[in-house]
Amino acid sequence: MLRWHGMRGIASVPSYVIMQPTTLCNLDCTYCYLPLRAVDRKMPVEVAAAVAETVNGWAADVPRFSVVWHGGEPLAAGREHLGALMDPFRGVEHHVQTNATLIDDAWCDFFVEREIKLGVSIDGDAVRTAARVDRGGKPAYDRIRHGIDKLRRRDIPFAALCVVSAPEPGLGTELYAYFKDLGCHALGINVEEQEGVNRRPNEIDGAAIRRFWAELTAAWRADPVIELREIEWALWYAAGVLDGTADDRLPRRIDPIPTVTHDGSVVLLSPELAGFHDERYGDFASGNVLATPLSALLDRVTEAPAGWIAEYLVGVEACRASCAYFGFCGGAHAANRYFEHGRFDGTLTNHCRNSKISLIEGVLEYARG
């Protein structure tokens, strides 16, 4: 097996920061992992200002630094409040991941004025999007499309994020055609994960998920007008295998991906761990930006990883030593290990079978076919 040199230890500067402007979401999707989505805990402006003190310095040193607003539903924080949270940041690119149901003309003005990059969550047509419902259990599809239509009328670019739960034959082809028609410039596919409060099992037949990825690759190759995140990423890695540069594909160190929750707590590596508590690991937070600058907090963790983060690094090394897919995957996310295994030092999860291993094998299946 190749010896992989990427993903050794955690970087002290991230490539992006995730912010939780509110815990609240106006929807109640059946596969949602968020524990506090029914309650409205808004982030105070002091928290955003404390994060900006560190982030503005990082952003000054690189061409692009992203601040990703990801709730709950970020638009449920209200325009005025979300704007006040964004105001302390300088030189960053703001991203908002939204369920689109609250988008109206005033939100479109807000997105244009602030040059916000948008991601919209939708799983295909009304039948495929059936898991996205409101608190009364009513389908949200029409409201999602209404919000997207507002964006389209204003020529506001958006990416789409689609959750796939049951990859039946024909779904890859169908989804690619749907999203081409929807008008998004990029598409990400998340195979449903067993994490957070979503305890639905995610064991999917290997042949079915490989066929899904192969079909999606074929549909995209026939008309590659949308950036297709997972497929392009797998092809980029495959090109590296062919020309002998596969070991250069992974970052040298793990991106800490700080998630700053509504109250200023910082959860590293996996936003999905925010809001959870475990007898062994506590609340997974590495500190709070109201008490410690984000840069100092990261320096402390990266110099001397402890607790669940140290255990996660053991798991990454176990992956490096045992898995043929490490050069592509880099050990995957901490939350998948925790929510599937109950700890962080294991290796193979259903998430990596569905979204890493079968993805590579599906793309190869397409190439062989």
Looking at the DSSP bridge assignments, the partners of residue 139 are 133
Shortest distance, position 122 Cβ to ligand SF4, whole Å: 28
Q: 265-267 and 285-288 as β-strands: parallel, antiparallel, unpaired? A: antiparallel
Could you give the count of Cα atoms lying within 13 Å of 332 in the half-sphere of its Cβ?
Answer: 26
Shortest distance, position 324 Cβ to ligand SF4, whole Å: 8
Question: Which of 35, 240 has the CB closer to ligand SF4?
Answer: 240
Cα 19 → chain centroid: 12
Shortest distance, position 349 Cβ to ligand SF4, whole Å: 6
Specify the stretch interacting with ligand SF4 by CB under 6 A; choose among 48-56, 150-158, 254-262, 317-325: 317-325
Q: Does 357 bind ligand SF4 (CB under 6 A)?
A: yes
In one letter, which amino acid is 242? L
For 107-153, the DSSP string reads HHHHHHHTT-EEEEE--SSTTTTTT-BBTTS-B-HHHHHHHHHHHHH
Candidates 59, 356, 361, 366; binder of ligand SF4 (CB under 6 A) is 356
SS3 sequence of 173-211: HHHHHHHHHHCCCEEEEEECCCECCECCCCCCCHHHHHH
Candidates 331, 358, 362, 363; binder of ligand SF4 (CB under 6 A) is 331
Question: Which of 2, 225 has the CB closer to ligand SF4?
Answer: 2
Q: Does 348 bind ligand SF4 (CB under 6 A)?
A: yes
Candidates 326, 338, 339, 344; binder of ligand SF4 (CB under 6 A) is 326
Q: Does 325 bind ligand SF4 (CB under 6 A)?
A: yes
Helix or strand (DSSP H, E) at 56 = helix 45-60
Candidates 17, 257, 329, 334; binder of ligand SF4 (CB under 6 A) is 329
For 296-324, the DSSP string reads HHHHHHHHS--HHHHHHHHHHHHHHHH-T
Candidates 319, 334, 359, 363; binder of ligand SF4 (CB under 6 A) is 319
Residues 196-235 close enough to bind ligand SF4 by CB under 6 A = none
Cα 55 → chain centroid: 20
Shortest distance, position 347 Cβ to ligand SF4, whole Å: 4
Looking at the DSSP bridge assignments, the partners of residue 162 are 189
Residues that bind ligand SF4 (CB under 6 A): 319, 323, 325-326, 329, 331-332, 347-348, 352, 356-357
